[in-house]
C-alpha cells in the first residue's frame, strides 16, 4: 500500500510539474525550482521509505537475511542523502539567483531540520552498524537510532506538506479550483496515506518483536526478532 501511494504521488507530481514550466530554466537563466520538490520527494517518500521498510519487514516478508536488509537499508539511505544534498543545493542557488532570502519559512526550517537529522542519523548508523562497533554499543544505540529514523522521516514528510502549501500560495490565481491548485492537495493526501501505512508496518513489526521477546523471557529464552544482531 505504501508503494502504491508513492507511485501515485510521483505520477501526480510529474503531472503538476508539467504544468509549472517543467524543468526548463526560469527567466534570466535561473535554475529550475521544480528539481527541488522532485528530488526531495524521491529522497524521503521513495528511498527513505523503502529503507525503513527494508529494515523493518525485509527479513519477514522480503526473504532478506539480516545482513542483506541492513546493507539495503544503508544503501537506500546513501542514495537518499545524495538527492537531499542536490535538492537543497538547487533551492539555495535558485533563491540566490532570484534574490529571495533563504530559510525564512516554516517549510525551510522543517526541511533543514530533517536534512540535519538525516545526516546525523546516517553518520551514527554508518559508524555503529557498518564499521563493526562493539555489540554493547550497537544495542545501546539501536532504540534511539530507530526512533530518530522515524522522526526524520516524519519531519521530511512535514516539510513536503508545508512546501506544497507554500507553493500553492505562490501560484494562486483567480481560479482557486484550477488543476495546479488542486494537485498539491492530492499530493498531500497521498503523502499522509503513505506515512500512515509505513507507520503501521513499523509499529506492527516492533510490536511482534516485543511480544516474541516477552514470550521468550517467560519461557526462559529470548528468541524474538528484536534479539537479532543489530
Q: Write the pLDDT tens digit of every residue in 29-38.
A: 899 999 999 9
Residue 60 has a pLDDT of 80
Residue 180 has a pLDDT of 94
User: Which residues touch 118 (CB under 8 Å, ≥6 apart)?
Assistant: 48, 77, 80, 81, 84, 152, 156
User: Which residues touch 144 (CB under 8 Å, ≥6 apart)?
Assistant: none
Helix and strand numbers (H, E) in the chain are: 7, 0
- Predicted TM-score (pTM) above 0.95: no
Residue 214 has a pLDDT of 54
Residue 220 has a pLDDT of 60
Residue 226 has a pLDDT of 46
Residue 224 has a pLDDT of 44
Residue 222 has a pLDDT of 46
Residue 225 has a pLDDT of 43
Residue 132 has a pLDDT of 79
For residue 194, with 0-12 CB atoms within 10 Å meaning exposed, 13-18 middle and 19 or more buried, which class applies? buried
Residue 223 has a pLDDT of 43
**Distances in whole angstroms, Cα of residue 162 to Cα of each of 27, 36, 50, 169:** 25, 14, 22, 11
* Residues lower than pLDDT 70 in the chain: 208-230
Amino acid at each position: 500500500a505504501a508503494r502504491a501511494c508513492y507511485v501515485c504521488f510521483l505520477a501526480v507530481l510529474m503531472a503538476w510539474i508539467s504544468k509549472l514550466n517543467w524543468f526548463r530554466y526560469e527567466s534570466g537563466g535561473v535554475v529550475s525550482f521544480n528539481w527541488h520538490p522532485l528530488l526531495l520527494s524521491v529522497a524521503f517518500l521513495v528511498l527513505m521509505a523503502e529503507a525503513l521498510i527494508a529494515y523493518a519487514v525485509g527479513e519477514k516478508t522480503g526473504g532478506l537475511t539480516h545482513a542483506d536488509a541492513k546493507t539495503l537499508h544503508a544503501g537506500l539511505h546513501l542514495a537518499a542523502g545524495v538527492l537531499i544534498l542536490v535538492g537543497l543545493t538547487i533551492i539555495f542557488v535558485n533563491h540566490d539567483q532570484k534574490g529571495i532570502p533563504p530559510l525564512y519559512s516554516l517549510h525551510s526550517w522543517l526541511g533543514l531540520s530533517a536534512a540535519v537529522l538525516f545526516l546525523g542519523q546516517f553518520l551514527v548508523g554508518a559508524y555503529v552498524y557498518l564499521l563493526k562497533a562493539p555489540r554493547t554499543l550497537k544495542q545501546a544505540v539501536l532504540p534511539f537510532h530507530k526512533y530518530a529514523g522515524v522522526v526524520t522521516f516524519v519531519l521530511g514528510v512535514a516539510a513536503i506538506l508545508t512546501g506544497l502549501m507554500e507553493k500553492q500560495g505562490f501560484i494562486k490565481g483567480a481560479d482557486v479550483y484550477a488543476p495546479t491548485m488542486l494537485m498539491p492537495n492530492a499530493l498531500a493526501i497521498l503523502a499522509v496515506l503513505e506515512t500512515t501505512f509505513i507507520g503501521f508496518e513499523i509499529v506492527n513489526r516492533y510490536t511482534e518483536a516485543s511480544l516474541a521477546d516477552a514470550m521468550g523471557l517467560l519461557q526462559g529464552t529470548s528468541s524474538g526478532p528484536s534479539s537479532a544482531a543489530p
